């Protein structure tokens, strides 16, 4: 089972991220994750009704949720960049995404450094330029 569940909220442009293990929910406005977080600790959560010393563990859970949004759903959490390099939701594929016209998603199938990836993309650009 996946640890995190991301769903559209009931309000327009709002999202709900749930840590299904810790039973902690963050609601946030699209593209404004850091500015608009509303945190709810669900009734059956291990954090509900616990003393303050649990605060450091809760802080770790919330930080991990933020890391998840940054690495998996940056374009929903933050202002939309032209390009993103991120893992897919399962964490097993690396994707290069262009969010502006012309939009595309490229799956990076091999582990490589930035220089090799950059060179391959330059070669692809030349290939497209010569074929059109």
41, 61, 77 - which closes a domain: 77
Q: What integer pLDDT is reported at residue 52 of this predicted model?
A: 62
Three-state SS for 3?
coil
In a shared domain, residues 91 and 73: no
| Residues 89 and 53 both lie in one domain | no
**What confidence score (pLDDT) does residue 111 get?**
82
Extract the residue ranges of the chain whose pLDDT is less than 70. 1, 50-53
The total of structural domains in the chain comes to 2
pLDDT score recorded for residue 75: 84
- Say yes or no: 96 and 124 in one domain: yes
Shared-domain flag, residues 42 and 103: no
First to last CA, the chain: 45
Is 13 in contact with 5 (CB distance < 8 Å)? no
Give residue 32's pLDDT: 95
Same domain, 10 and 72: yes
Torsion of CA 55, 60, 63, 68, to 10 degrees: -140
Same-domain pairing of 18 and 34: yes
Let me know whether 36 and 97 are in one domain: no
State the pLDDT at residue 51.
Answer: 67
- Please identify which residue in the block is written with the tokens 């802080």: 59
- 9 and 66 in a common domain: yes
Q: φ, ψ for residue 50 (rounded to 5)?
A: -90, 160
Residue 74: phi, psi to the nearest 5? -55, -40
Whole-number pLDDT of residue 55: 80
Structural domain for 66, as ranges: 4-77
User: 103 with 68, same domain?
Assistant: no
């Amino acid at each position: 089972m996946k640890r995190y569940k991301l769903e559209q909220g009931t309000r327009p442009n709002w999202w709900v991220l749930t840590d299904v293990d810790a039973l902690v929910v963050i609601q946030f406005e699209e593209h404004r994750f850091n500015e608009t977080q509303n945190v709810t600790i669900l009734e059956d959560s291990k954090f509900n009704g616990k003393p303050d010393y649990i605060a450091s563990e809760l802080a770790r859970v919330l930080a991990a949720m933020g890391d998840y949004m940054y690495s998996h759903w940056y374009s929903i959490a933050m202002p939309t960049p032209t390009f993103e390099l991120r893992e897919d939701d399962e964490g097993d594929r690396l994707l290069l995404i262009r969010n502006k016209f012309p939009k595309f998603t490229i799956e990076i199938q091999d582990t490589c450094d930035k220089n090799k990836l950059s060179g391959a993309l330059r070669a692809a650009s030349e290939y497209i330029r010569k074929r059109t």
